[in-house]
Amino acid sequence: MRGISKSNMRFQKLALLLGVVLFGLKFTAYALTNSIAILTDALEGLVNIMGAAFGVFSLYYATLPKDKNHPYGHGKIEFISSGFEGGLILVAGLAMIVKAFYSFFYPQDLTINALGMGLVFMAGAVNSVMGWSMVKQGEKVNSVQLQAGGKHLLSDGYSTAGLLVGLTIVWLTGMPILDNVLAIILGGLISVTGVKIIRKSIAGVMDEADPQQLEKVAAVLQSKRRKTWVDIHNFKIVRYGAKLHLDAHLTLPWYLSLKESHEEVNKLEAVLDEVFDHTVEASIHTEPCLESSCPICILDNCVERKFPFVKKIPWDGDHIYANEHHQISS
């Protein structure tokens, strides 16, 4: 885990360094062209720097060990960091729109040249490559901060591509007013990106359920289901940065010894650990089976069976999430 944390930190520090360099390139391009659209792109680069700087701190803080005040670790700060970055993006996008409307009434001379366009293209290409790399790394290690930062850089790359196309149209048509229109469109797109990142960070802080993740877990449990696992329910997944905490209730035959029940829990935890690539901490509560469990119990040599087996209830996301014993409706 320590090696993963160091790798994440390297990505984030590199994003910070590139943010500073690319901001300089974009601002130079603005000085050469006097394009409001390029200025809006440059301002988002300033947001990149601030977000990356906070990201470096959050990734460091998230790696701190558990303590008395934070029994589940410090990983939640990644959601705060990504929300902060999303807020910066939203403010930058709105500022771009305001600046563009202001330029309608107080226009400035626009000079489009190859050097300025080339600098913008270079910055957009680097942002896209870095953003894609950060998203892939974030998905690999379940880092919310890296995914948020990477998606931000990717959106920056997309907006830069649109900017270059738009400025080319301005150059071909000779209509400088289109520069302001383009800036408003880019500001709107950037604002939407900020809102999405804020929405995801709030969902993480509020421990919002992830249906896709639940379905993924359910599919694996269904495929590796043991006959002694009569039922599983009240399955919850809580994310603490790159670390996941899982809670579940496992129904086992009531006559198993404490040692046997513990072994079954260990086997379930091993399956979950494999699914989440050893980034999970599980808390499994065992419950004894009831007579109402007999019709769905697939244990074929049970000496204590009270009712005949009727059918096997498939485990899907809805089933394992529900906080109730599964049984056949009468």
Domain at 189, CATH number: 1.20.1510.10
**Please, what's the b/e burial string for 165-195 (b: 16 or more CB within 10 A of its CB; e: otherwise)?**
ebbeebeeeeebebbbebbbbbbebbbebbe
Backbone phi, psi, residue 282, to 5°? -105, 145
| pLDDT one digit per residue (tens) for the chain, 330 residues | 444 566 777 777 887 888 888 888 888 888 887 777 677 667 767 777 877 787 778 777 777 777 778 777 777 787 887 788 788 778 877 877 887 787 777 666 666 667 777 887 888 888 888 888 888 887 777 677 777 778 777 777 777 777 777 778 777 777 777 777 877 887 788 788 888 888 888 877 777 777 777 888 888 888 888 999 999 988 888 877 667 788 889 999 999 999 999 999 999 988 888 777 767 788 899 999 988 889 889 888 888 898 888 888 888 877 788 777 766 665
Q: Are the C-beta atoms of residues 133 and 154 closer than 8 Å to each other?
A: no
Residues in a beta bridge with 296: none
Integer CA distances (angstroms), 329 to 11, 234, 313, in order: 53, 19, 11
Q: Can you tell me which residue has the tokens 């029940």? A: 261
3-state secondary structure of 258: helix
Integer CA distances (angstroms), 60 to 36, 67, 213, 260, 286, in order: 37, 15, 26, 41, 36
The whole domain housing 155 covers 2-205
Least Cα distance to 188 among 89, 48, 51, 46 occurs for: 89
Cα 182 off chain centre by: 29
d(CA 124, CA 32): 17
Looking at residue 250, what is its pLDDT?
Answer: 93
End position of a domain, from candidates 160, 179, 205: 205
End position of a domain, from candidates 205, 231, 246: 205
Q: Are the C-beta atoms of residues 244 and 237 closer than 8 Å to each other?
A: yes
What the block records as the tokens of 87 is 């807020």
d(CA 169, CA 153): 24
Looking at residue 27, what is its pLDDT?
Answer: 83
Task: Verify that 189 and 242 share a domain, yes or no.
Answer: no
Task: Verify that 215 and 181 share a domain, yes or no.
Answer: no
| CATH number for the domain harbouring residue 269 | 3.30.70.1350
pTM attached to this predicted model: 0.65
Q: Are the C-beta atoms of residues 224 and 271 closer than 8 Å to each other?
A: yes
Task: Verify that 264 and 131 share a domain, yes or no.
Answer: no
Number of other CB atoms surrounding residue 120 within 10 Å: 28
Task: Verify that 200 and 231 share a domain, yes or no.
Answer: no
Looking at residue 1, what is its pLDDT?
Answer: 45
End position of a domain, from candidates 182, 205, 228: 205
Task: Verify that 166 and 222 share a domain, yes or no.
Answer: no
Least Cα distance to 42 among 84, 81, 95, 82 occurs for: 95
d(CA 41, CA 153): 12
Give the count of domains, the chain: 2
Looking at residue 109, what is its pLDDT?
Answer: 64
Residues in a beta bridge with 288: 252
d(CA 144, CA 51): 13
